[in-house]
């Protein structure tokens, strides 16, 4: 197994090249983006980098990252990230995941927390709490872009993009993000039926940050998510929706870093 890294552009894990953003120095912070990807100009990355070395890859198949042959589930993606952590020999890692990235983070943690110190999950998906007739998560494929923005954001204008005017590389990345989200989250829709029964394996401090204007998910969904992880805390973030790191990057990062620096967290790292 081999890894090479370019702090500005790429990370190669087992022959798969990931588009990667790195910022800051110190303890590692793995940022796992939601379905709409991540870009180098995202303010949340600079703010998180005040607390450590941020590593923010585009997931396999997203952005400009390659998709390994045979990778078809979020479960597969989580094993890939375990390889990344091992090959880079990262320890005491604060894992911050939003949306589908929160799902990936939870899947990583139920497998192994050996290299992790805390989890911070922002409006995560990945679980189903209702019965088979109850939709826990809005079907994002059945709504128009404007309808999606109205459901996903406190301020729908934040999510608007003129795809026709985007540079080719950005338009391609957006298309790949959408395609990869469908690949990994189509069936069963945006959850792993087995994950809920594995959450007892998460044995590190966990914080659920919740954009209260999210209408893709309900607040009760978020509170149920927190209740399913032993000792997890739930904190709402006002004036933010499904992507709280976008609408409230300063507050999102401040709370994530504060959680990672509690006395209990420092004692665990000692």
Residue 270: what pLDDT?
55
- Which domains can be identified in the chain, with CATH numbers? 3-269 (3.40.50.1820)
Residue 216: what pLDDT?
98
HSE-up of residue 175 (Cα within 13 Å, Cβ side): 9
Percentage, residues of the chain above pLDDT 70: 94
Q: Could you tell me which residues come within 8 angstroms of residue 121 by beta carbon, excluding any fewer than 6 positions away?
A: 97, 98, 102, 105, 106, 206, 207, 208, 209, 225
d(CA 197, CA 228) in angstroms, rounded, equals: 9
What's the mean pLDDT when you consider all of the chain? 94
Residue 217 has pLDDT above 90, yes or no: yes
Percentage, residues of the chain above pLDDT 90: 90
pTM: 0.95
pLDDT range class, residue 7, cuts 50, 70, 90 = very low
């Amino acid at each position: 197994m081999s890894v090479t890294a370019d702090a500005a552009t790429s990370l190669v894990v087992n022959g798969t090249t990931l588009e990667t953003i790195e910022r800051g120095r110190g303890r590692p912070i793995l940022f796992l983006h939601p379905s709409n990807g991540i870009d180098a100009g995202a303010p949340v990355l600079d703010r998180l980098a005040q607390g450590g070395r941020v590593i923010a890859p585009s997931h396999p198949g997203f952005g400009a990252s390659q998709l390994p042959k045979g990778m078809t589930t979020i479960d597969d993606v989580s094993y890939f990230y375990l390889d990344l952590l091992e090959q880079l020999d990262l320890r005491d890692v604060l894992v911050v995941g939003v949306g589908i990235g929160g799902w990936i983070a939870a899947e990583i943690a139920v497998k192994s927390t050996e290299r992790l110190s805390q989890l911070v999950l922002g409006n995560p998906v990945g679980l189903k709490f209702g019965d088979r007739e109850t939709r826990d998560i809005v079907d994002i494929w059945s709504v128009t872009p404007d309808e999606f923005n109205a459901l996903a954001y406190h301020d729908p204008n934040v999510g608007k993009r003129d795809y026709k005017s985007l540079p080719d590389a950005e338009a391609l990345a957006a298309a790949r993000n959408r395609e990869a989200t469908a690949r990994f989250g189509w069936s069963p829709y945006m959850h792993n039926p087995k994950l809920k029964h594995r959450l007892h394996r998460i044995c590190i401090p966990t914080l659920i940050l919740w954009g209260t204007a999210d209408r893709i998910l309900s607040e009760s969904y978020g509170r149920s998510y927190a209740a399913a992880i032993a000792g997890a805390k739930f904190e709402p973030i006002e004036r933010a929706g499904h992507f709280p790191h976008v609408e409230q990057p300063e507050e999102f990062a401040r709370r994530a870093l504060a959680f990672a620096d509690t006395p209990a967290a420092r004692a665990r790292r000692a």
